[in-house]
Chain A
Amino acid sequence: MTNQAEGFQPRIVVFACNWCSYAGADLAGVSRIQYPPTTRVIRVMCSGRVTPGFILEAFRLGADGVLVTGCHPGDCHYISGNENAVVTVDKTGRLMNVLGIEAARLRLEWISAAEGARFARIMTEFTEQVQALGPTALKDTTL
């Protein structure tokens, strides 16, 4: 991490599925596990609901990172919605590659309802990962 990045508070959009990852965030709260205040969670019923459009909209508007979180493979409340999330994140990553947006600004993680500590750890780790990249060059200021 560069010195410049030290004071940089990234803006991170987190998509969390209702059944696992959002519940994991709740457990992190109930357990009073502290993590950086850099993330803003958007609840969706399933990680499979997330589209490349949602992710790219976040980047267009200046998100420094986007995190998609869902149930562990095999545990999806909707059987296979998280498999769709894998496809979406992969496809979005390839679009980002053509666009020239660093791949490390987008991450997919599985967090179960029982993994409050893991939720907090991933928020911390991803914040550090994005801090290391520095602020995004994108930001649509015409809006």
Chain B
Amino acid sequence: MSHVTMTQNEETRVGVFVCHCGSNIAGYVDVAAVTAYARTLPGVVFAQDNMYTCSDGGLTEIKTAIKTHALERVVVAACTPRTHEPLFRDACREAGLNPYLFEFVNIRDQCSWVHRLEPEAATQKAKDLVRMGVAKARLLQPLEEQEMPVEPVALIVGGGMIGMTAAVNLASRGFQVKLVEREPELGGMMLRLDKLYPTQDDAQPLIQQRVAEVRRSKTIEVFTASTLHAIKGFVGNYDVTVRDREGRLSSFKAGTVIVATGARVFTPHGMYGYDGERVVTQLELEKQIADRRLQIANCNLQPAVSNLKRVVMIQCVGARIPERPYCSRICCTTAIKNALELRELNPETEVYILYRDTETQGTRYEAYYTRAREAGIQFIRYSLDHPPQVGEGRVVVYDELLGAKLGIPYDLVVLSTPLVAQEGAHELAQMLKVPLDEHGFFLEAHVKLRPLDFATDGVYVAGTCRWPSHLEETIAQAYGAAARAATILTKEHVTSSGVVARVDESLCRGCGRCVEVCEFGAPALVEVAPGIKVARVNPVMCKGCGACASVCPTGAMAALHFTDGQVMAMVRAALLNQK
């Protein structure tokens, strides 16, 4: 396309479908009037309204109309393309129309629902939006999707319980796995745990069994003491380089990536007299308990030899505060678990848990909490207005329920601190071009619809690198992420979107602005004649953002589906009223 046609081709046949969405739209927008108006627009040869355009009946009507009215473009005025565009595109495809000849107009989220008190204005706006959609639709071009072969190899970053579980699962499906662990040993956080709640099972046999499974597998290649050094490419075709502590690099190809890098425990420096000896974290207590148990076993001591008389645990240390507002989810149950362990070691030990709110949802955890109360563990509620004071040998706390100040002597204070973002998460996120949330945890594509996906195709997430979760939940995520990765790995080809950038080489000066601005390495300069370079776009690497088209000084680069001509047509239609 070397020249643009600034006004629409009168010949293009457009069909418009206006949805009632039950009463969601029709309750506030005059759908009949919008449909009648659509019929008056240039290019529109057919318009109808539907009770639910997205229903089987509605989709069938679209497909029928494409055939009977020889529609070349389809416009649906309904809800949001973010949820329903694939459905209508498929309907077009099934009727033999290129799916990119479809345009979505949102008259629900942008009209009926937000202008409920002004039905006339909502109707006028719906007409305007339909006019804009039709104006763009007339300029839409059929687009091609690209097929690229898939490398049936999964890269898993993080060799803890979650990474290993995903690895074993994918290996059992017959895929090659490359498992990269930063520490010299596989196992992650679980290596530091003693018992697991709510069953008080030993953590070590469980994790060691998983390590053994990984080590036994012939299709899992493990890189310990190694980190991801570089990753280039796109879904199905990543070039990965891993670097070990000696600086040696190993390179391989992978088709998909699972991020399972876990989290770390917040260290409460300067809080509640934390010193790592008399005031410790739950994780440090866990090690003390494990050591003690080992001592008991080795020295043949009687079980009841813990010399701790009183232990005070403080919950929400560094969590649910303005600078770290989230609940770390695992601390209440961890505290209960360790409290029960202390009582197990020495039934004489008194344990006080100073809490703000106790979060033990579900059938098992509420019972676990009850069990702790029955075991004589004292729960004392404090508020942020009166945080506990850890003094020499005594914790002073204002009991919110009692309405009185209590002084509790202690041998040990245990601070329940939250899980926080893993070290290096930021660098990894930048390398993989995936987002983090404001706390540094990895952010999934959609909390409900795509909880284990990143918005970037082919990259998945599982475990506490996403947010603090219980072990059984994260293991379920590991299986889920493995299943998501397998949806790519089982395919011979992946299909890329047709919404990509394209270069008109005769208009390209080879200045390289597109190459500079692209975060995904999609355009590259190619020497086509001595001294003459032009940009070419790898459509599979292109994400379709259109930044290159915006910075291109000559108009050589087109952002397909959002071309200058198409966007300008919408701007004009927005402002040039045709009543």
Query: Do any CB atoms of chain A lie under 8 A from CB atoms of chain B in the complex?
Result: yes
Which A positions have Cβ atoms within 8 angstroms of B? 11, 13, 18-19, 22-23, 25-26, 28-30, 32-35, 37, 40-46, 48-51, 53-54, 57-58, 61-63, 75, 77-81, 84, 88, 120, 143
Q: How far is the CA of A53 from the CA of B567 in the complex (A)?
A: 10
Q: How far is the CA of A52 from the CA of B550 in the complex (A)?
A: 9
Is B36 interfacial (CB 8 A cutoff)?
Answer: no
How distant is A2 from chain B, measured CB to nearest CB, in Å? 22
**CB atoms of A49 and B568 under 8 A apart:** no
With contacts A26-B109, A48-B547 taken as known, whether A79 is within 8 angstroms of B433 at the C-beta atoms is yes
Q: How far is the CA of A66 from the CA of B10 in the complex (A)?
A: 29
Contact partner of B575 among A18, A30, A63, A75, CB < 8 A?
Answer: A63
With contacts A26-B80, A46-B545 taken as known, whether A78 is within 8 angstroms of B519 at the C-beta atoms is yes
**CB atoms of B574 and A45 under 8 A apart:** no
Is B576 interfacial (CB 8 A cutoff)?
Answer: yes
Encoded as 1 (CB less than 8 Å from any A CB) or 0, chain B from 101 to 126 comes to: 00000101111011111100110110
Is B572 interfacial (CB 8 A cutoff)?
Answer: yes
Contact partner of A34 among B114, B125, B570, CB < 8 A?
Answer: B114
With contacts A26-B109, A75-B435 taken as known, whether A42 is within 8 angstroms of B118 at the C-beta atoms is no
**CB atoms of B574 and A33 under 8 A apart:** no
Q: In the complex, what residues of B have CB within 8 A of residue A49's CB?
A: 545-547, 549-550, 559, 562, 567
Is B455 interfacial (CB 8 A cutoff)?
Answer: yes
How distant is A126 from chain B, measured CB to nearest CB, in Å? 15
Q: How far is the CA of A143 from the CA of B7 in the complex (A)?
A: 11
Q: How far is the CA of A61 from the CA of B572 in the complex (A)?
A: 7
How distant is A80 from chain B, measured CB to nearest CB, in Å? 6
**CB atoms of A40 and B550 under 8 A apart:** no
**CB atoms of B108 and A58 under 8 A apart:** no
With contacts A45-B499, A88-B550 taken as known, whether A29 is within 8 angstroms of B562 at the C-beta atoms is no
Is B128 interfacial (CB 8 A cutoff)?
Answer: yes
Closest to A19 in B: B455
Q: In the complex, what residues of B have CB within 8 A of residue A81's CB?
A: 545, 547
Q: In the complex, what residues of A have CB within 8 A of residue B108's CB?
A: 29
How distant is B562 from chain A, measured CB to nearest CB, in Å? 6
**CB atoms of A61 and B547 under 8 A apart:** no
Q: In the complex, what residues of B have CB within 8 A of residue A80's CB?
A: 519
**CB atoms of A78 and B571 under 8 A apart:** no
Q: In the complex, what residues of B have CB within 8 A of residue A45's CB?
A: 499, 543-546, 559, 562
**CB atoms of A54 and B571 under 8 A apart:** yes
**CB atoms of B571 and A33 under 8 A apart:** no
Q: How far is the CA of A104 from the CA of B481 in the complex (A)?
A: 47
Q: How far is the CA of A31 from the CA of B118 in the complex (A)?
A: 17
Q: How far is the CA of A137 from the CA of B110 in the complex (A)?
A: 28
**CB atoms of B547 and A37 under 8 A apart:** no
**CB atoms of A13 and B550 under 8 A apart:** no
**CB atoms of B118 and A37 under 8 A apart:** yes
Q: How far is the CA of A35 from the CA of B122 in the complex (A)?
A: 11
Q: In the complex, what residues of A have CB within 8 A of residue B571's CB?
A: 13, 42, 54, 57-58, 61
Q: In the complex, what residues of B have CB within 8 A of residue A42's CB?
A: 132, 567, 570-571, 574
Closest to A56 in B: B571
Q: In the complex, what residues of B have CB within 8 A of residue A29's CB?
A: 80, 108-110, 113-114
Contact partner of A22 among B82, B111, B124, B568, CB < 8 A?
Answer: B82
Q: In the complex, what residues of B have CB within 8 A of residue A44's CB?
A: 546, 562, 567
Q: In the complex, what residues of A have CB within 8 A of residue B125's CB?
A: 37, 40
Closest to A40 in B: B574
How distant is B490 from chain A, measured CB to nearest CB, in Å? 27
Q: How far is the CA of A48 from the CA of B547 in the complex (A)?
A: 5
**CB atoms of B564 and A53 under 8 A apart:** yes
With contacts A25-B110, A45-B499 taken as known, whether A40 is within 8 angstroms of B82 at the C-beta atoms is no
**CB atoms of B114 and A120 under 8 A apart:** yes
**CB atoms of B575 and A78 under 8 A apart:** no
Closest to A23 in B: B82
Q: How far is the CA of A88 from the CA of B567 in the complex (A)?
A: 16
How distant is A114 from chain B, measured CB to nearest CB, in Å? 9
Q: How far is the CA of A22 from the CA of B543 in the complex (A)?
A: 18
Please name 6 pairs of A and B residues whose Cβ atoms are closer than 8 Å in the assembled complex, sorted by A.
Answer: A11-B575, A25-B110, A41-B129, A49-B549, A49-B559, A79-B519
**CB atoms of B519 and A33 under 8 A apart:** no
Encoded as 1 (CB less than 8 Å from any A CB) or 0, chain B from 538 to 579 comes to: 000001111101110000000100101001101110111000
Is B231 interfacial (CB 8 A cutoff)?
Answer: no
How distant is B525 from chain A, measured CB to nearest CB, in Å? 20
**CB atoms of A40 and B114 under 8 A apart:** no
With contacts A37-B125, A78-B519 taken as known, whether A84 is within 8 angstroms of B547 at the C-beta atoms is yes
Q: How far is the CA of A122 from the CA of B106 in the complex (A)?
A: 19
Q: In the complex, what residues of A have CB within 8 A of residue B433's CB?
A: 79
Q: How far is the CA of A28 from the CA of B108 in the complex (A)?
A: 11
Q: In the complex, what residues of A have CB within 8 A of residue B546's CB?
A: 44-46, 48-49
Q: In the complex, what residues of B have CB within 8 A of residue A77's CB?
A: 435, 455, 543, 545
Q: In the complex, what residues of A have CB within 8 A of residue B121's CB?
A: 37
Closest to A37 in B: B121
